[in-house]
Structure 1
């Protein structure tokens, strides 16, 4: 009975996916070492799901700068929010060019830039926590503020040298860079640890869809939504815990009292 039910469900899902493909909601999977070509509606979804987040990212950058009370906060905020803006902007431009002009040298350059920004964004997402939070002097957690950029540099060099080759290995590098620094700081009592973990889980869940083009309609757009949600969680965790408004207000009040 169980095998009969499973066979019926499998047949049902195959029919569903065949219907989706006929509606041009999804193309066939790409062959090895070749990029997936989205359908028209998938192209549009890819553009919208990251393009909509560019204005909020700019607003977020201004909020971090306004709340900065020292140069360390200022530059950490600039690096983090700048990478956030570039992540969504480059991704949106790439998907627009891919949609309008298909394959070509400009699309290839933008695709490489889009993938490189993932490494930069991972490093930048950790940067405020590693520079604005007191970390134990001993151990390698204290050295992560510069080690993450070394990892990002190696990842970008590899990605540029082997673009669209060994895709699963490239995804493994993304996962390693995203998870390895977290293992060093999750045992440390830092503010916003729950939000940091929640955002990380969302990124990891989104990777599932990152590799599902041609199997699930709008898989890449769904991946975009996971990225946007996880980035939002991390941003507000950074804003609330590392750039508290009350701290800025109290500092301003103290300065005014000193002047009097």
Structure 2
């Protein structure tokens, strides 16, 4: 038996558990980043705050979406969940561009990234249940725009931090295979694990090599 999302009760339990764990870790991560950024000035503190808040928002929206019993509440949480993906992508960029680099190119890319992310949010508000493949493409495209500053990151970021940044992006990207494969049992929970892995890589890169 499946619910309105198309997942069985056991699958939804796995979906809730996986991103519920992400929510808990995200809150801890936000606190750690704010504590570390407190003495680094307002720009660093704002960058870490935006990133950490976007991380918490994503996992909160996802956990709520997979927990709600009401179809109306699920639709609202699904909308928030999909919008939060754009915000997390832009939020993840922020410490790398404004703290690790803070160059004219990085600042320009920052404006572009946040502009595209906000445009993506508007797109989702208008077309939440349409153009799913296009949405997935825009998520991936937005994430891999980091290649524009990869050489600058190579010059300014420790090699391990750069490796974690790239690995996180790769994990997110590979996870979309399971996101689209609805015929695989627990495909969405598996996708959630990839999201957790990508998030962990990026958090360690930011906390350990940017902050």
- Alignment match, 1:235: 203
Where 1:117 maps in the other structure, the secondary structure is helix
The Cα offsets for residues 135-191 of structure 1, whole Å up to 9 and x where unpaired, read as: 553xx44301221110011111111211111211111111111112x1112122231
Determine if the alignment matches structure 1 residue 37 to structure 2 residue 1. no
* Residues in 1 aligned to 2:176 and 2:122: alpha-carbon distance in whole angstroms: 21
1:116 to 69, 83, 91: 83
- Alignment match, 1:133: 100
* Residues in 2 aligned to 1:185 and 1:196: alpha-carbon distance in whole angstroms: 12
The structure in which a higher percent of residues are helix is 2
* Residues in 2 aligned to 1:89 and 1:118: alpha-carbon distance in whole angstroms: 12
Q: How many residues align?
A: 203
Determine if the alignment matches structure 1 residue 187 to structure 2 residue 151. yes
Are the counterparts in 1 of residues 47 and 98 from structure 2 also a CA contact under 8 Å?
yes
Q: How does 1:140-219 map to 2 (within 5 A)?
A: 140-180=105-145, 182-188=146-152, 189-191=155-157, 192-213=161-182, 215-219=183-187
Determine if the alignment matches structure 1 residue 60 to structure 2 residue 52. no
Gaps of 5+ in 1: 1-23, 28-34, 244-260
The Cα offsets for residues 42-81 of structure 1, whole Å up to 9 and x where unpaired, read as: 1111100100122221111111111122111211111111
* Residues in 1 aligned to 2:103 and 2:74: alpha-carbon distance in whole angstroms: 44
Determine if the alignment matches structure 1 residue 86 to structure 2 residue 57. yes
Q: How far apart are 1:105 and its partner, in Å?
A: 2.0
Where 2:57 maps in the other structure, the secondary structure is helix
Where 2:206 maps in the other structure, the secondary structure is helix
Where 1:157 maps in the other structure, the secondary structure is helix
CA RMSD of aligned residues (A): 1.6
Where 1:133 maps in the other structure, the secondary structure is helix
Where 1:38 maps in the other structure, the secondary structure is coil
Determine if the alignment matches structure 1 residue 106 to structure 2 residue 73. yes
Determine if the alignment matches structure 1 residue 220 to structure 2 residue 188. yes
The Cα offsets for residues 169-224 of structure 1, whole Å up to 9 and x where unpaired, read as: 111111111112x11121222312111101000010011111112x1111111111
Gaps of 5+ in 2: none
